[in-house]
Chain A
Amino acid sequence: MSESAQLKRTRLHGLHLEAGAEMSLFAGYDMPVRYPPGIIREHLHTRQEASLFDVSHMGQIYVSGVDAAIHLESLIPADIVSLAVGKQRYGLLLNENGGIVDDLMIARITQTEFILVVNASCKTNDLSYLKDKLGKALSVEIDHDRSLLALQGPKSSDVMNQLGHDLSGMGFMSVREIVLDGIPCLFSRSGYTGEDGFEISMKDEHAITVAELLLSNPNVAWAGLGARDSLRMEAGLPLYGHEITQDTTPVEAGLSWAVSKARRSQGERTGGFPGDHIILPQIPRQVSRLLVGLQPVGRMPIRKDAVIEDSDGNTVGTVTSGGFSPSMWKPVCLGYVNLEYADPVDADTGHSAERPGLHAVVRGKHLPVLVTRLPFVKKNTYRIP
């Protein structure tokens, strides 16, 4: 059996091929990396208009039962108990050392039912982990028969308007069912690009119809995983396996905000999640390294795993993601640096500035980088007027 025959396909695979996509292996799936316009144009189209991404490889896990919120809080450091029905929140699964097992979105569908959207590469592990920890008290099932589309970009809401759905009352991180041309879809106003937009879940058998309906709008075009990666880098969003791993804690990764106030020291329900004894004391920046933006001074892109050194040649950090920013037309990186280098504040003037003095080592060359505030490109998520 050839390698390609073993690859999993989403329901939209044929549409990607028809659109001329270049396909590549990602988390066991044959996924579109780019379409004929190329990553740069797809990226800019997402920032200016609206793009459609097939993210059906991600896992959609249903968790339900009495006191489901309380049970989920035993694994996730977010405040789930007070999460309203029709809202979602960013969450993390953690190991006993405070390392990150996966990051996810948790949507509350009813008082006792939640949908977790998890990373494709982690979904099998996540499912067995959740079943192991919660299976006695709750129903935990992955729905293999659903597709997931992301409509992302400033015109996403206009696109929905033209399909007869005024979503101006649907705020960022809201979730609601919308019947699109007779097809029940679950919409959430969220995404992974830093733009306004929606993630749209539907039964597999309707995926092609929904995709074609959205693509029939002249402002909507396909975008692939290549553009998704450059968009999330500009937005400073961490990617599992790069910025966040079993060996990075939420505080190191700049995700302290994902530990809700109610779950922190002196909160209403302090701790009670794996690794709490490590993570909670770290929150007042008691860490040795932090995730930062690294802006290369020159034009050469700096890639994952490049070492960051100070001017004396001491290793002070590592690049976790690096590439080219089409919006800024220059390279950008995310990476970890030792705490003393993590603040983009000028030590002499006290003013906020890009912090100089570090360089990345690439093929023996020393390339200056500046520690920079994230995101690189301002986020454009929706607020109800």
Chain B
Amino acid sequence: MTIKFTDDHEWVRQENDLVVVGITDFAQQQLGEVVYIELPDIDREIEQGEEAAVIESVKAAGEIKSPVGGVVVEVNDTLTELPEKINEEPEGEGWIYKMKPNDPSELDGLMDMTAYQSLVESLQ
């Protein structure tokens, strides 16, 4: 199972022919307590780098830019009632949406775990 990262602190994980998108632990720490999430519509077509969702914390709003392009097939509805899941398990139960990627090779251009970890270290 491949997991890749963007320099905007999203993660994207391949699951069969779909990808799952969320924000990293570093991102949720920066945002603070999440109180609302605006999820994308199912079937929406999103280009790579396009705004897919908005996470509102007590402090500020943060955009999720789609790590790859594709069509949204599922969203994590649990987050509507329990947005704090994003803080608690950003890389697990706090996933945001699943999409069918148009071009899975877009994943190749993203950071792997090691590269992302050194990015985060450079920011701390």
Q: Which residues of A contact B (CB under 8 A)?
A: 33-34, 38-40, 226, 230, 299-301, 303, 323-324, 326, 331, 363
Contact = CB atoms under 8 A, between A and B. Distances in A.
Contacts of B61: 301, 303
B58 A40 contact: yes
B44 interface: no
Interface stretch (B6-14, B31-39, B67-75): B31-39
B54 A363 contact: yes
Contact of A226 (B38, B54, B56, B58): B58
A324 B35 CA distance: 8
Nearest to A226: B59
23 contacts: A33-B59, A38-B33, A38-B58, A39-B33, A39-B58, A39-B59, A40-B33, A226-B32, A230-B58, A299-B35, A299-B36, A301-B35, A301-B36, A301-B56, A301-B61, A303-B60, A303-B61, A323-B58, A324-B36, A331-B35, A331-B36, A363-B38, A363-B54
Main secondary structure of the interface of B (DSSP, over half): strand
B58 A300 contact: no
Contacts of A363: 38, 54
Q: Which of B32, B36, B38, B59 has the most CB of A within 10 A?
A: B59
A301 B35 CA distance: 8
Interface of B: 32-33, 35-36, 38, 54, 56, 58-61
A323 B36 CA distance: 11
Contact of B36 (A33, A40, A226, A300): A300
Contacts of B38: 300, 363
B118 to A, nearest CB: 20
Contacts of A39: 32-33, 58-59
Given A34-B59, A326-B58, 11 more contacts: A38-B32, A38-B33, A38-B58, A40-B33, A226-B32, A301-B61, A323-B58, A323-B59, A324-B58, A363-B38, A363-B54
Main secondary structure of the interface of A (DSSP, over half): mixed
Q: Which of B32, B54, B58, B60 has the most CB of A within 10 A?
A: B58
Contacts, number: 38
A296 to B, nearest CB: 10
B91 to A, nearest CB: 19
Nearest to A323: B58
A324 B58 CA distance: 6
A300 B35 CA distance: 8
Contacts of B56: 300-301, 324
Query: Which 6 A/B pairs are nearest by Cβ-Cβ distance?
Result: A39-B58, A324-B35, A301-B56, A324-B58, A40-B33, A38-B33
Q: Which of B32, B35, B38, B54 has the most CB of A within 10 A?
A: B35
Contact of B32 (A34, A299, A301, A303): A34
A192 to B, nearest CB: 18
A34 B61 CA distance: 17
Contacts of A323: 58-59
Nearest to A301: B56
Contacts of B60: 303
A207 to B, nearest CB: 26
A338 B36 CA distance: 29
A34 B87 CA distance: 15
Nearest to B59: A226
Nearest to B61: A303
B40 to A, nearest CB: 12
Contacts of A38: 32-33, 58
Contacts of A33: 59
Contacts of A299: 35-36
A114 B56 CA distance: 43
A124 to B, nearest CB: 27
B79 to A, nearest CB: 11
B45 to A, nearest CB: 17
A326 B84 CA distance: 13
Contacts of A230: 58
A40 B32 CA distance: 9
B82 to A, nearest CB: 12
A103 B123 CA distance: 37
A239 to B, nearest CB: 15
Contacts of B33: 38-40
B103 to A, nearest CB: 27
A376 to B, nearest CB: 15
Contacts of A326: 58
A39 B31 CA distance: 11
